[in-house]
Structure 1
Amino acid sequence: MKLRFLGKNSTPGDSPTLYASDQDSYVVQGWKVLAADLLMRLDVPDGHTVVEVPTELFEHLTKDGLPAGEIKNYEPPIMLVTEQGTCLVQGPQMHDPEALSQMRMPDYETCVEVPKSSITALLEESSGADHQRPA
């Protein structure tokens, strides 16, 4: 899998990053979610994992031709929004050696792959109830 870097929200030692893949998906690199109290609130299927990223990370979607990167719907693959304004993103954990070789990832981070359609649906105005589920 080939990745195209879209952007990152970085502070020293932290590097949540967003990539577009050649498989019609996005790869979201973020902090591993290990807190039992958060994980107990989620239904994480086998082979999936959860990463935490700043919501601003999705602003980089404009570099993939999308008109805006502001999340308007908080529904899967975004599972929760924390009190700190970060979001928990769930998806299949990335194991593709070619993709992983293109990334720089500290031990406390991992990445998930989510379909582009799932992410772009989060950018559209919802006509129904607010789906935001705060942590």
Structure 2
Amino acid sequence: MKLRFLGKNSTPGDSPTLYASDRDSYVVQGWKVYANDLLMRLDVPEGHAVVEVPTELFEHLSKDGLPSGRIKNFSDPITLVTGQGTCIVQGPEMHDPEALSQMSMPGYETCVEIPKSSLVALWEENDGPDHPRTT
């Protein structure tokens, strides 16, 4: 799988990153979610992972041709928005060696692959009211 870097929201030691793939999907790299209380609220199928990323990370979707806007409808694959301005993203955990070789990922992070259609369906370019599901 070939990846195209769209953007990242970083602070020292943290590197949530968004990529577009050549498989009509996005790869979302973020912090592994270990909080049992949160994981117990989610239905995480075998082979899937849950990552936490800043909501601003999805602003980089505009570099893939989406209109300027933001995520307005929080549902799978973006399952929750936290009170700290981050969101919880769930999807198949990335194991593709070619894709992983194109990334720099600390041990406390992982990445998930999300079909473009699933993420684009949550995107709205207008400035109507948000509908977040918060933790």
Question: TM-score, with normalisation over the residues of structure 1?
Answer: 0.94
Q: Structure 2 vs 1, CA of residues 52 and 19 (structure 1 numbering), >3 Å: closer, same or farther?
A: same
Q: Which runs of 5+ in 1 are unaligned?
A: none
**Residue 76 of structure 1: aligned partner:** 76
Q: Aligned Cα RMSD in Å?
A: 1.6
Deviation at 1:132, TM superposition (A): 2.4
**C-alpha separation in 2, matches of 1:42 and 1:66:** 28
Partner of 1:57: 57
Deviations 1:39-68 (A, max 9, x none): 000000000010000000000001001112
Does 1:22 find its partner at 2:22? yes
Q: CA deviation at 1:69?
A: 4.5
Pick closer, same or farther for the CA change 1:6–1:125 going to 2, 3 Å.
closer
Q: Structure 2 length normalisation: TM-score?
A: 0.94
Change over 3 Å in CA distance of 1:45–1:59 after alignment to 2: same
Report 1:33-52 matches (<5 A). 33-52=33-52
Alignment length (residue pairs): 133
State the distance in 2 between where 1:132 and 1:70 align.
Answer: 12
Percent identity over paired residues: 81
Q: Which residue is equivalent to 2:109?
A: 109
Q: Distance in 2 between matches of 1:69 and 1:94?
A: 27
Question: Any stretches of 5+ residues in structure 2 without a counterpart?
Answer: none
Q: Deviations over 1:22-47 (max 9, x none)?
A: 00000000000001011000000000
